[in-house]
Amino acid sequence: MKIGLIGLGRMGGNIARRLMQAGHEIVAYDRSAEAVQALAKDGAEAANSLDDVRAKLGSPAIWWVMLPAGGPTEDTISAIGEGAKDGDIIIDGGNTFYKDDIRRAKALAEKGVHYVDVGTSGGVWGLERGYCMMIGGDTETVNLLDPIFDALAPGLGTIPRTPGRVAEVVDERAEKGYIHAGPAGAGHFVKMIHNGIEYGLMQAYAEGFDILKSKNSDKLPEDERFDLNMTDIAEVWRRGSVISSWLLDLTAIALAKDEKLEGFSGSVADSGEGQWTIDAAMEEKVPANVLTASLFARYRSRVEHTYGDKVLSAMRFGFGGHVEMPQ
């Protein structure tokens, strides 16, 4: 199929390449002419504007937008939508908030344009490993796009089949690495929860390694200390343990390079998806202590001292005369 790919960053560029490797044609556009040229070298048709892309796409036009969520995606989809014709398809492969998908799909449907949201996991490894995709949209359109998703997905590969899985009951596409989760918004909703879980998994490992590492600390009495090796612990847990995972593999890679992780500041960013996950939990009245604590740990990592901490000290001073000085 022929796809207009808008946004050629790390994710967008690799998606384009994986699609071309599977025989699809790419019309490539990015604000950066350099990025366009780089992809053109790899076989894409270069475009220098959205209009140019449109001119070069057939009918119906298929667009894959791979831009930062929020303003950039919103503006671009809005611009594409204005010039779109009945039957055209716009795919948002970024990290859009699912309620924005629902709104956009409704607006575009009024002029016969189909909107498909694709939550895409796989990071920088996707070009090689394939992308795990969670897709929202109307069934006819999602089915029409199947060759695209099939090309991007990892496929059955070497991951063993789930015992007891019965293809008649459940979606066979899931085994290849993509699902049609539901109507517009459902794809990004599932991806959002995926990222919320990711925060929780990461924080579980982080706390565990923190307790291990602090067991070596000279803040403990000498006879309570061990001299544990983080690098070997991460490695051994990859092998036969209950907590093996891809995130642990990544941790093991980092620790093999530097057990002290001194290259990292300890200030941890968060994308919006952790926050949206908590919003969803609250809308549904579902307790989500772990996912929330994971998000808050990142907020906390980015400030030295909170005003709240000072309020605590002020109370302590009030009732006990404690004064807490800078360490």
Catalytic residues: 191, 198
Q: In which residue are the tokens 């909107």 written?
A: 115
Phi first, then psi: give them for residue 178, nearest 5 degrees: -150, 150
Rounded Cα gap, residues 183 and 190, in angstroms:
12
SS3 assignment, position 5: strand
Token pair for 266: 């300890």
For the bound state, the minimum distance from the C-beta of residue 119 to a copy of itself, rounded and expressed in Å, comes to 10
Task: Read off the amino acid at residue 147.
Answer: P
Name which of 53 and 193 has its Cβ closer to a copy of itself: 193
SS3 assignment, position 135: strand
For the bound state, the minimum distance from the C-beta of residue 127 to a copy of itself, rounded and expressed in Å, comes to 11
For the bound state, the minimum distance from the C-beta of residue 31 to a copy of itself, rounded and expressed in Å, comes to 20
Name which of 114 and 188 has its Cβ closer to a copy of itself: 188
- Specify whether the CB–CB gap between 273 and 294 falls below 8 A: no
For the bound state, the minimum distance from the C-beta of residue 235 to a copy of itself, rounded and expressed in Å, comes to 4
Rounded Cα gap, residues 134 and 155, in angstroms:
14
Angle at 134 between CA 273 and CA 200, to 5 degrees: 40
For the bound state, the minimum distance from the C-beta of residue 217 to a copy of itself, rounded and expressed in Å, comes to 7
Name which of 86 and 210 has its Cβ closer to a copy of itself: 210
Name which of 83 and 246 has its Cβ closer to a copy of itself: 246
Rounded Cα gap, residues 31 and 65, in angstroms:
13
Name which of 41 and 242 has its Cβ closer to a copy of itself: 242
Q: In which residue are the tokens 């999602």 written?
A: 142
Q: Which of 47, 56, 37, 42 is nearest to 14 (CA)?
A: 42
